[in-house]
Structure 1
Amino acid sequence: MATRYWMVSLPVQSPSSNLWSQLQDSISKQSFDTPLYRFNVPNLRVGTLDSLLSLADDLLKANAFVESVTHKIRRQIDELERSSGVDAGSLTVDGVPIDSYLTRFVWDEAKYPTMSPLKEIVDGIHSFVAKVEDDLKVRVAEYNNVRSQLNAINRKQSGSLAVRDLSNLVKPEDVVTSEHLVTLLAVVSKFSQKDWLSSYETLTEYVVPRSSKKLYEDNEYALYTVTLFSRVADDYRLKARERGYQIRDFEHDPETQESRKQELEKLTRDQESMRSALLQWCYSSYGEVFSSWMHFCAVRVFSESILRYGLPPNFLSCVLAPSLKSEKKVRSILERHCTAGNSAHWKAEDEVGAMAGLAGDAEAQPYVSFTINLV
C-alpha cells in the first residue's frame, strides 16, 4: 500500500479528446512504476464565484483538521495494538482497505447530496469530524485513567523497596506485636547492609539483640526487620533516618491485602475491557472519518478546478502514487497534458501564487494538485 498520493485535476480541452487514455499511455511508458487511478468527482453544486472564493479560504485549514483527526485515530490504534503485543489490523472503510477506497472512490449521494451547497457539505464534514475528535478525547481519557491507576498499583507491587507494597514480602511470623514490643521494617541500601547489621542494636536503647532479619533484597535495597520496645519506636525511626535508613510503615492485615488483590484484578479486567472497546471504536471511527476526508478531498478538487479552469466543469481528476525518484518525471508528464493555455487563470504571477496557495503545493503547477498522506 502506498502511503502518499497526489490528487490532481487536468482540464479537458474538448469532448473528443480522450485525456484519460492519453495520460494512462504516457504514465505507463515514461513512469511505469507510478500507479494511476481515476478519481470520480460528481457534478456538485457550484454556487456563485464569491461563494467558491470564500470556501477556498477555509478549505486548507479544514483539510488540515480532518487529516489530523484521521492520523490521530490511527496513532491511537497503533498504540493500543502495541500495548497488547498484537500487530495492528488492516484499516478499512465498510470492509474495503483504505487505499482501495481512495483509488476506487464513489461519492455517497445518500450521505452527501450533490445538490447541497458546497459549504454545507464541508461544514457537515467538519462538524462530524470535530464530534468524533471530542468523543475520542473522552474515551482515551477514561482509558488512561484506569491504566494510570493500574500502573500505580503495579509500581507498588514491583517497584523498589523504597516504594513498593510490602504485604507480599512480610509474613505474619516475621513481625512481633505485643503489649510492649513492636517490629519495624527498615529499607537499607545494598551497600550499607554491613553498617546496618553493626549499628541497628545501638541506634537507641531497648532494642532486642540479634532481632534483625533480612526478608528481601532487590537491585537497590534490602529489607530488614528489627524488634524493640514500643516506647522507643518513634525515636528509633528518627535515628534510623539520620543514618540513611528508611523505616517503612507496615501493618499485617489480611483483609486489606485481599481488598488490594481484588482491586488489582478488577482494574486489570477494566483496562482490558476498555482497551478492547476503545480499539473497536477507533477502527469503526477511522473508517467513517477517512470516508469523510475523501469526500472532502472530492469537494476540494472540484472547487479548485472550477476556480482554475472556469465553468462549465470539464476536468479530469485522478490519483497517482509516484515514488520519490519519479516525482519530477511525473510532474513533467502532467504539465505536458496541461499547457498554460489550458488554464484560464494560469496567467499573471499574482494569480499563479493564489492558485498555488489553493493547491497547497510548495511549487506552483499549471494544474490542480495536492498531496494525501495516509499515515
Structure 2
Amino acid sequence: MTRERKEAMASRYWAVSLPVPNSASQLWNQFQERISKHSFDTPLYRFNIPNLRIGTLDSLLSLSDDLAKSNNFVEGVTHKIRRQIEELERVSGIDTGALTVDGVPVDSYLTRFVWDEAKYPTMSPLKEIVDGIHSQVAKIEDDLKVRVSEYNNIRSQLNAINRKQTGSLAVRDLSNLVKPEDIVTSENLTTLLAIVSKYSQKDWLSSYETLINYVVPRSSKKLYEDNEYALYTVTLFSRVADNFRTSAREKGFQIRDFEYSPETHENRKQELDKLVQDQERLRASLLQWCYTSYGEVFSSWMHFCAVRLFAESILRYGLPPSFLACVLAPSVKSEKKVRSILEGLTDSTNSAYWKTEDEVGAGMAGLAGDADAHPYVSFTINVA
C-alpha cells in the first residue's frame, strides 16, 4: 500500500458496544465528551446497526460459535484482494489512491456505515445472513484464484522466455545473437557455435583449429560475451562435426545445437509479442475486477461485523436489545486511555464482575474475539 493510501485511512479500528442504562443519546454524548477530554486524537463514530431478527437464544449461541471463524475468513479474503491490487499497481506503475466501496473511500464507508436492506433484509434469520455473506465471499475467492492462476500462467511463460533471452550463454536462446552472415552452410561445410568460459578464450583461439582435422583455419569469430562465457563460431567440414563436439567437450568447451531459421525467429518474436499483450490485457482485467470485488467483499465484511456486534451484544447484555454500537480508531499510545473510558461508561458492578470472574470473563471475551476480558463487547477490524 502506498504511503498516500496509508495516510488516507486508519489501519485498525475497534468495534465496540456498551450497555445503555437509560438513554442511548445521553451515553453517546458522555462517550464523545470523555474521548474529547482524555483521548482527543481518537476518532469516534456511531455504528448504525438496525434491529435484526434475533431468533431463539439457542440459535444465537450456536451462531456465536462460528462468528469469529467466519470473520477471519471474510477478513482474509478482503486482505488477499487488497494485496493483489497493491502488487498489480506496483507492477503496472500506477497508483489510484484510496480504495473505494460503493464509490466512497474505505474509511468513510466504515465510519458512516449504512445497512443495505435490499441486499440483506433485516427480517431474515441471522444465520441466513451470515451464510449468505460467507457463500458470496467464497465465490469471489474462487473467482480470484482462477483469474490469478490465468494471469500467473502467462507471467510464468514470459519469465521462462526472458530467462532464455537474458540468462547465461550456456542456457539462453541464441537466435537474437546470431545473424545470417555468421553461419556458413553448404554441401560440405557447417558452422558450429561454441560456448567458451570467459577466462578460457585464449585457450580456445589457440586450439580450436587443431582439435580435429578439417577445421577451416581462422574461421572462429566471437559474437557475444557475458559475465561468464563468450560465444564463438567455428566452421568445419560437416562430416567431422560430431567428432569436433566430442573433442571440444573434452577440452571444456560446450558446443550448442543451433540451426538458424528466419521463420523460427519470427515465430518466436510473434509469440513473445502476443504473450506480452496477453499479460497486459489480463493484468488490466484482473486489476479492474479486484477493484470491484474488493468493494463487494469489504461491504459484506462490514455487514458481517454489524451482525457479529449485534449478536454478541444480545448475548452479553440480554433482551430487549439496548446497547450503543460505535467504531473508533485509537492510536497505540491511546489504547489504555480509551479502554479506561469504555470501562468507566460501563456499569460499575458489571465492570467489577468482569475483572474478578476470570473464568467467565475469558469465556465471554472469546465471544467478543479479543484476548482480554472487557465488561463490554469489543473486537478489532484490521482494515489494512
What TM-score, normalized by structure 2, do the two folds share? 0.95
Partner SS state of residue 34, structure 1: coil
* Number of residue equivalences: 375
Instruction: Find the aligned partners of 2:149 and 2:87 in 1 and give their Cα distance.
Output: 14
Amino acid at match of 2:377: V
AA aligned opposite 1:118: L
Identical-pair percentage = 79
Q: Does 1:253 align with 2:261?
A: yes
- Cα distance in 2 between the residues matched to 1:348 and 1:14: 26
Distance 1:49 1:348 in 2: 23
C-alpha deviation, 1:198, in angstroms: 1.3
302-311 or 253-262: bigger deviation: 253-262
Q: State the match for 1:364 in structure 2.
A: 373
Taking the aligned partners of 1:374 and 1:244, their CA distance within structure 2 comes to 59
> Does 2:232 align with 1:224?
yes
Point out the more displaced range, 279-288 or 193-202.
193-202
1:239 CA displacement: 2.1
Partner of 2:312: 304
Structure 2 partner of 1:35: 43
Range 6-15 or range 239-248, more displaced: 239-248
Contact 2:101 2:109 in 1 (8 A): yes
Pairs within 5 Å for 1:74-223:
74-223=82-231
Could you tell me whether the CA contact under 8 Å between 2:24 and 2:324 is conserved in 1? Answer: no
How far residue 349 of structure 1 moved from its aligned partner, in angstroms, is 3.5
Is the contact between residue 309 and residue 345 of structure 1 (CA under 8 Å) also seen in structure 2?
no
* Partner in structure 2 of residue 286 of structure 1: 294
Match 1:262 to one of 262, 270, 280: 270
3-state SS of 2:293 partner = helix
Q: Does 1:341 align with 2:349?
A: yes
For 2:260 and 2:123, the matched residues in 1 are separated by 74
Equivalent AA in structure 2 for residue 195 of structure 1? D
The alignment yields a C-alpha RMSD, in angstroms, of: 1.5
Provide the C-alpha distance between the structure 2 equivalents of 1:309 and 1:182, rounded to a whole number of angstroms.
Answer: 90
3-state SS in 2 of match to 1:37? strand
2:106 maps to amino acid: I
CA contact (8 A) 2:196 2:230 kept: yes
In 2 relative to 1, CA 41–228 (structure 1 residues): closer, same or farther, beyond 3 Å?
same
Alpha-carbon offset, residue 166 of structure 1: 1.3
- Code of the residue aligned with 2:205 in structure 1: it is L
Tell me what 1:353 maps to.
362
Distance 2:12 2:326 in 1: 14
Residues 96-144 of structure 1 show CA distances to partners (whole Å, capped at 9, x for unaligned) of: 1010000000000000000100000000000000000000000000011
In the TM superposition, 1:295-334 aligns within 5 A as 295-334=303-342
1:52 counterpart residue number: 60
Consecutive unaligned residues of structure 1, counting only runs of 5 or more, are none
1:344 Cα deviation after fit: 12
Paired with 2:251 and 2:353, the residues of 1 have a C-alpha distance of 83
> In 2, Cα distance between the equivalents of 1:306 and 1:352?
16
Is contact 1:206-1:228 (8 Å) kept? Answer: yes
Counterpart amino acid of residue 336 in structure 2 = K
Q: Is the 8 A contact 2:163 2:172 kept in 1?
A: yes
For 2:146, the aligned partner's letter is V
Q: CA deviation at 1:251?
A: 1.1
Instruction: Report whether the alignment pairs 1:12 with 2:20.
Output: yes
State the alpha-carbon separation in 1 of the partners of residues 168 and 120 from structure 2: 58
Quickly say closer, same or farther: Cα 1:162–1:238, change in 2 above 3 A.
same
> 2-side partners of 1:46 and 1:350: how far apart?
27
Q: Is the 8 A contact 1:212 1:226 kept in 2?
A: yes
SS in 1 for 2:375: coil
- Contact in 2 for aligned 1:237/1:247 (Cα 8 Å): yes
Distance 1:11 1:344 in 2: 15
Cα deviation 1:330-368 (Å, max 9, x = unaligned): 000000001353589958433211111011212111100
1-structure distance, mates of 2:309, 2:33:
23
Give 1:89 deviation, angstroms: 3.5
Give 1:290 deviation, angstroms: 0.1
Give the direction of change, closer, same or farther, for the CA distance of 1:343–1:292 in structure 2 (3 Å limit).
farther
d(CA) in 1 for partners of 2:364, 2:267: 67
- Aligned AA for 2:370? D
